[in-house]
Structure 1
């Protein structure tokens, strides 16, 4: 039970892992001096993202099976915080399943090598390959898709991991291309349970950070989403602007908070900008993402999967199945 939950956490971490650059206050696709404005639609962005995934995976040995993870792949452009949502971007996330957990590091290295051969560049320095669970962050040239290949920890003592890949497109205008935000779904008992849990995790984290929160912005608050048969509660909020020293202290308190609760804390690179803190709860599958922005605001998001119906129907106090 715990092992399967851990894998679910890794999957969720992967869904947000490649957003490190986008959410850290850096801008993309025509919003930064010297960058190119991207002309594409949802279909083109999705097809290109799939191509980049297969460039990494098709030549791998042992051959993994791709398992799609994450929420709706089309969402608001993260570089456009609190905008009216004119621009969108595509994020595709896959677990690399069907191979031994000890092969996860090898798969990440092979993904890195395949992308390097195609002339793609590193977002920061190469991974620390002495680490049994490395992470690679790269971008394509010249179309500026961002990708992450990472190894989530399944069993640290045995050196077993779960490799995963996420591709994030540049932001693009809707322009009648038919893009759609993650769809809201009818509430169920499981949704309500997940929402309460997401709020509880978020509230305890807020207490641990010891900073004031900002007025709720557009796109923030509590929402319920569905991707395939999976349902999620998502709670997001932001702090008031912080100084650089205050931000460092807040992230230190956040890390200590999650470590004290036994959450997973995968490594994320810091050379390309302020560090993004990711944390995963191996018990209930919740994932936290804390992303500093260039203006000193810390954006916090807590995502909790809704339990399946057979769990929500159990009598209070009943033992898990």
Structure 2
């Protein structure tokens, strides 16, 4: 498999889920760089690549988001694709589904992001990630069309530096990379951002609370503004913003004890993440 084949197959899996949906959503691309290093090879020389296509399903009422996720699940089940672990909890107003294709082992997710919890409104999104394949320097297709700009590269380095400092402050081990995690560049209207996402290993509630206290102390001592947001886990989420460059960090505890970390840095100009 090469880049072109992987992209074509990922796009096919997206449309297998979306084309029969009712109401009919509009696909809004969320990733600028669909070709990236193989997540499984994070510490290697990066010879292998993988494709990730991600879309928001827009143009439909927010109360339909759960219905769209279920329809994606149904379409993939009908094609014989398998669940990664188990089916979604459909009693949850904002469910998510994680599956893989058979036999070629593409991984896909359909998730419901919360827009208004009180009204039950969400935003459905869908993502497909290919297996790893050999990159252009080893005989694959040329990924030049997805080469980042200088500002993108500076923003990515900044996001990774901030993530590294947050990791040091937390003082806990990170989990193996999951589908959808890693670093990527995104565009929202006219603005571009670098985004780095990763997770910790599962923690008990007391340890999770202590980790977040260390994170808040780190943010407050290095020029970030911080606020706590209540969550269903009983442990608050931390939202932090760095005044110097507008970087935003989100540390969100989940019900399984995993702390999900996301750092988003604007791709405005070359800068240093020294602060």
TM bracket, shorter-chain basis:
0.5 to 0.7
Cα offset for 1:118? 0.4
Q: CA RMSD in A?
A: 4.3
In structure 1, distance between residues paired with 2:29 and 2:124: 13
Query: Which residue among 154, 179, 182 is the counterpart of 2:115?
Result: 154
* C-alpha distance after superposition, 1:45-91 (max 9, x if no partner): 00000000000000000000000002400001111121111111000
Does the alignment pair 1:61 with 2:17?
Answer: no
**TM-score, normalised via structure 2 length:** 0.68
How many angstroms does 1:300 deviate by?
Answer: 8.6
Q: Distance in 1 between matches of 2:211 and 2:26?
A: 33
SS in 1 for 2:50: strand
What is the CA–CA distance in structure 2 between the aligned matches of 1:131 and 1:168, rounded to whole Å? Answer: 25
Call closer, same or farther: CA 1:237–1:139 in 2, change over 3 Å. Answer: closer
SS at match of 1:79: helix
Is this contact kept in 1: 2:33–2:184, CA < 8 A? Answer: no
Question: Residues 231 and 157 from structure 1, CA distance in 2 versus in 1: closer, same or farther, beyond 3 angstroms?
Answer: same
1:177 — aligned with what? 140
Q: 2:83 aligns with which of 101, 111, 122?
A: 122
Deviations 1:162-187 (A, max 9, x none): 00000000001123223438634234
Where in structure 1 do 4 or more consecutive aligned residues deviate above 3 Å?
Answer: 179-184, 194-206, 223-230, 233-239, 253-267, 279-290, 298-303
Q: Is the 8 A contact 2:228 2:238 kept in 1?
A: no
Comparing 75-84 and 135-144, the one that deviates more: 75-84
* Contact residue 198 and residue 304 of structure 1 kept, 8 A: no
Q: Which of 299, 306, 314 is matched with 2:266 structurally?
A: 306
Shift of 1:303: 3.6
Distance 1:144 1:234 in 2: 26
Whole-angstrom CA distance in 1 between matches of 2:193 and 2:203: 30
How many pairs are equivalent?
Answer: 233
Relative to 1, partners in 2 of residues 1:225 and 1:149: Cα closer, same or farther, differing over 3 Å? closer
TM-score, normalised by the number of residues in structure 1 = 0.59
Distance 1:106 1:236 in 2: 27
Residue in 1 aligned with 2:255? none
For the structure 1 residues 152 and 80, does the alpha-carbon distance in structure 2 shift closer, same or farther, using more than 3 Å as the test? same
* Structure 1 residues not aligned, in runs of 5+: 1-39, 214-222, 268-278, 291-297, 310-321
Distance 2:129 2:85 in 1: 16
The answer to whether the 8 A contact 1:133-1:153 is kept is yes
Whether the 8 Å contact between 2:112 and 2:125 is mirrored in structure 1 is: yes
